[in-house]
Amino acid sequence: MNKNYALKIFLLLSGIFIIGWLLLNDSTYQSTDDHASHNDTHADEEYTKGPQGGRLLQEEGFALEITLFEKGVPPEFHLYSYYENELVNPAEVNVSIKLRRLDGQVDEFSFTPQSNFLRGDGIVTEPHSFDVSVHARYQDKDYKWEYPNYEGRVQIEPAIADESGIRVETAQAATIKKVINFTGQVQIDPDRISEVRARFPGVVKKIYKELGDTVKRGDVLARIQSNESLQNYEVIAPINGVIVQRDIQNGETTSQAPLFVITDLTKLWAELDIFSKDIRHVRTGQQASLSTLDGAHYEGNIAWLSPMLSHASQSIQARVIIDNAAGEFRPGQYIRGAVTIADIPVELAVRKSAIQSFRDFQVVFARINDTYEVRMLELGQADSQWVEVRAGLKPGTEYVVDNSFLIKADIEKSGASHDH
């Protein structure tokens, strides 16, 4: 009994070994290309895969496997042909493929034999989202297939897009601003400071304005009795402004010191520190964008550059005159300044706010009718608003600039993307 049991075990193990060996050496399923391949499609779409892991198209004993090869090269088609489950000499097969993209562009590919596969004659550009038409000819017989192959694509009704705040703009030329950032401080314009003194020595009888009061030219600030004539006279504000200093009390005798200091704060100076490495890039007339730590902003121009270099910091000062009628800026505030040192026109740019990450790419989402589709971009120079597009987007394409993250989320939710 024990011998019979041992014999059965031996025969079972031998059978398993033989079956495994046959499967590993079956020419039909043995991989003839050790490179990874992928097929771009909806994650929920079912299709037959071939021995190379690509999409397998079959008809009457003939089969064509479509793979996309991109190991060390830009994406290109590699096709494998089979007849009755046997690999076919690629020189015996003629194939052409057409890719119809969402915007109407059609990409056509022909193929040449190479090793044991057919190699496409062009790059399959991103996104890999298109309707595919395949025409193959083998042994004087034609085979045709069509199928959708979408990624990064989603359809949203216009009313829903409007409610979601999805807004588009047209991709076009723009000007990229090259800037250098500086820091500095808000200062009072010395020409807008007035020190008000008593015309004649005397005694202060009445004070009409207090520290911090806003006054107009001609307003009465105080009444003083002259020591010589014993007549009262009025101290008048010589300019519009704010009283920033008051050195006067009722009953006191005046002196040569200012009674009031009035400052006109409607125009201020932003003094930016320009260090030696940047001095050669900065000149008068250049645009300067100013901002304070509490969020105030101002767009102006450099009005003056100091001819003197600070010994301690090895910097010069660049002055921007601030129109401060709204009172957003105060003397003494620290300030940041972005000075535009060059305007660079580019043929195509998109809003910086439109850029999203998708797989390993920086992308925007194009809108064609009510369908949104990813566009993988090659980007260039950028500023705070615009990013140059060097490849990946056609001029005149509508793309999402507001709430593009909603499109990305919808695509990821629907599974309309793949992992390269």
416 pLDDT tier (thresholds 50, 70, 90):
low
6 pLDDT tier (thresholds 50, 70, 90):
very low
- pLDDT exceeds cutoff 60 at 420: no
- pLDDT exceeds cutoff 60 at 127: yes
* pTM of the shown model: 0.69
Q: Report in angstroms the alpha-carbon separations of 312 from 124, 305, 316.
A: 59, 18, 11
Q: Hey, which residues does 300 pair with through a beta bridge?
A: 288
pLDDT on residue 34: 33
pLDDT on residue 42: 42
pLDDT on residue 96: 97
pLDDT in tens, 291-305: 999 999 999 999 999
- The answer to whether residues 133 and 109 touch, using CB atoms and an 8 Å cutoff, is no
Query: DSSP characters for 365-406?
Result: EEEETTEEEEEE-EEEEE-SSEEEEEES--TT-EEEEESHHH
- The answer to whether residues 57 and 145 touch, using CB atoms and an 8 Å cutoff, is yes
Q: Which residue is listed with tokens 């005149």?
A: 396
Query: DSSP characters for 172-241?
Result: EEEEEEEEEEEEEEEEE-GGGEEEE--SS-EEEEEE---TT-EE-TT-EEEEEEETTT--EEEEE--SSE
∠ CA 133-135-136 to the nearest 5 degrees?
Answer: 145
